[in-house]
Amino acid sequence: MPVTGHCARCGAPFTCKPRELLVRLYCSQACYNAVRHLRETPLLDRAAAKSLPWDGVGCRVFAGAKDKRTGYGKISVGHQKWGLLHREVYKATYGPNSIPEGFVVHHTCGNRLCWNVEHLVLIVDQGEHIRISNVPNIVLSQNDVCRKGHPLVGDNVIEERSRKWIVRRCRTCRNEWARTRTGPEPVGEHHGRAKLRNEDVREIRLRGSTGTPGKDLAARFGVSTATITLILRRKTWTHLP
């Protein structure tokens, strides 16, 4: 009489003869091959097979599964078990006990999908450790200077706190970054919503000074009469003579 067993990988039920249940662990050849692949293929080789091309110098970016909450890459480490890629790579390189209690693996490059072991260092986990992102003024670890070499002392340090994180920012870098992001507002024909060019405005004012009705100017240049009135009264386009 057939008996029912459960796959050691996916948990799906399967039927077999009683004597086969003593040695059979998987429901199909696919589950067996998947487990054998994890057992026989080293972790670093599996990570390399799912990574972007690497030039041997910079970050080695993982293109496989990603943890939705933290943004770190993750990789299978056993039956229905996942581990963060950068931690598993660090343990595979320096040993399974290479991450002592109270320490975390930190990316010096700031790229959470990077698993280049030269970019991974241990730092003390203080419960609220530094959060790294692509914004250039985020500070790496508890350094005395920012990435651009500005001293992180006194008023040059901006600390932003949340429920889980403390972000230390360099005020000098923050101001430089803000200026590049905002800059002066475009005016005249350089504005994204401008319908007229500088030459059009000069012609409108010239024709308006000679007595051409605003209604005719509006029809000629494809704008409203209110726009023509504001231009003639120099309420808009004030940067032009």
Distance CA 101, CA 198 (A): 67
pLDDT of 128 reads 40
- DSSP letter, residue 119: G
Report the range of poorest mean pLDDT among 2-16, 127-141, 160-174. 127-141
What's the pLDDT tens digit per position in 36-54? 666 557 888 888 888 887 7
More confident of the two residues 71 and 203 = 203
Residue (of 41, 44, 38) closest to 88 by Cα position? 44
pTM above 0.85, yes or no: no
pLDDT of 147 reads 67
- The pLDDT of residue 184 is above 70: no
pLDDT of 30 reads 82
Confidence of residue 205 (pLDDT cuts 50, 70, 90): very high
pLDDT of 229 reads 93
**What is each CA distance from 223 to 195, 200, 216, 230, in whole angstroms?**
8, 11, 10, 12
pLDDT of 84 reads 92
Mean confidence (pLDDT) of the chain:
79
DSSP 35-53: HHHHHHS-HHHHHHHTB--
pLDDT of 239 reads 86
Share of the chain above pLDDT 70, in %: 80
What's the pLDDT tens digit per position in 136-165? 344 444 556 776 778 877 888 887 665 555
What's the pLDDT tens digit per position in 124-139? 765 444 444 433 344 4
Residue range 104-119: average pLDDT?
86
